[in-house]
Amino acid sequence: MPPSPDDTTSVYKPQRVSDSVLEVREVTKRFGGNVAVDALSLSVSRGVVAGLIGPNGAGKSTLFDLLAGVQTPTKGRIMLDALSIERTPAYRRARLGLGRTFQVARPFPALSVVENVMLGRHDQSGEAILPNWFTPRKVHRQERETLGKAMDLLRFVSLDRLATQPARVLSGGQRKLLEIARVMMGDPRVLLLDEPAAGVNPSLLDIIMDRIATINARGVTVFLIEHNMDLVTRLCSHVFVMAQGRLLCEGAPDTIARDPRVIEAYLGSAAA
């Protein structure tokens, strides 16, 4: 339980969760004199959809960069299951099952939609020169499998009819769906989604929410940053609130939405 509003102890102690799949332990990230993430600890339970909210500049995207390996923490540890991964390069974290989508989806515009999805696979022999020479049939078979899987994923996100179109024709919402298909090519067990609803029109929003729920129902733990509180309330069973690089509180979405500290953090940032 988060502390009560009249609890005056300064540092919020995160809940300890026994079956956590992703754990952040006392992580700090400094950019020069600016502390973007400040001795933050949190724990994401296996199998949940968890949300990360907070006012602009709270440090949410930086935390996701640290989790995905785009940035290295100044201090602290990040655990994926029992493995300490804070120094593991991003590509290796992806192979360990940590998938990530970006706030601004930037597909390769000249490649087709299905080719963009195929790039999400981690272990393609065709990317190396030697297998192409020595085992061309194996490479061919893998490419066929990759194409089949990419088409299945495009059907899943309802973009299959656009498979051969260049990715530049996609709308903002369709690009978010493409990102989901691309990241699912890597069979993640933990999925980090950075603002999956940003810039998405209402008709696609329902599809995106439904697909995230389906991915979770298939056993993938989802951790998402989102400003759209309707999405957070409908999808997340647990919400973490960040402000000024710290974890302000955590809990069920309806409890969080009523928490005076959360309201104050948002109002404070709007006034700043």
Ligand X SMILES: Nc1ncnc2c1ncn2[C@@H]1O[C@H](COP(=O)(O)OP(=O)(O)OP(=O)(O)O)[C@@H](O)[C@H]1O
Residues within the interface to ligand X (CB under 6 A): 31, 34, 36, 54, 56-62
The set of residues, in sequence order, having a beta carbon less than 8 Å from that of 190 and lying 6+ positions away, is: 21, 22, 44, 80, 97, 98, 99, 220, 221, 222, 223
At position 77, the amino acid (one-letter code) is R
Residue 70 Cβ vs ligand X, minimum distance, rounded to whole Å: 10
Task: Pick the closer one to ligand X by CB: 58 or 192.
Answer: 58
Residue 187 Cβ vs ligand X, minimum distance, rounded to whole Å: 27
Element (DSSP H or E) covering residue 255: helix 253-258
Task: Pick the closer one to ligand X by CB: 37 or 159.
Answer: 37
Closest CA to 60 of 85, 24, 32: 24
Element (DSSP H or E) covering residue 50: strand 49-53
Task: Pick the closer one to ligand X by CB: 139 or 241.
Answer: 241
**C-alpha torsion angle, residues 92, 98, 99, 102 (rounded to 10):** -90
Task: Pick the closer one to ligand X by CB: 60 or 93.
Answer: 60
Instruction: Give the largest Cα separation in the chain, rounded.
Output: 69
Residue 127 Cβ vs ligand X, minimum distance, rounded to whole Å: 29
Task: Pick the closer one to ligand X by CB: 147 or 198.
Answer: 198
User: Distance between terminal CA atoms of the chain?
Assistant: 29
Residue 267 Cβ vs ligand X, minimum distance, rounded to whole Å: 16
Residue 252 Cβ vs ligand X, minimum distance, rounded to whole Å: 21
Closest CA to 230 of 253, 212, 207: 253
Integer Cα distance of 85 and 68 in angstroms: 9
Integer Cα distance of 210 and 215 in angstroms: 9
Task: Pick the closer one to ligand X by CB: 117 or 231.
Answer: 231
Residue 27 Cβ vs ligand X, minimum distance, rounded to whole Å: 13
